[in-house]
Amino acid sequence: MDAKGELAFNMATCYKNTGKLADYKTRRLKAKEFALPESPYYQQIIDAAF
């Protein structure tokens, strides 16, 4: 599940950088949903204001 969160986070970043904000918002929510709260990666998602 954590790998899916990381992938969604990376995709969100790409969408944001290319100006595709609707896709960015979707992937941002998926990243938070998929990442395990006890993982260090979850904290990175929270720090990025997801």
Backbone φ, ψ for residue 31 (5° rounding): -60, -45
pLDDT tens by residue, 20-32: 999 999 998 999 8
pLDDT of 16 strictly over 90: yes
Confidence (pLDDT) at 14: 95
Report the chain's C-alpha Rg in angstroms: 10
Q: Using CA atoms, how far apart are residues 13 and 38, in angstroms rounded to an integer?
A: 22
Share the mean pLDDT of the chain: 88
Return the closest-CA partner of residue 5 out of 27, 28, 37, 31. 31
Confidence (pLDDT) at 25: 92
Report which of residues 40 and 36 the model is more confident about: 36
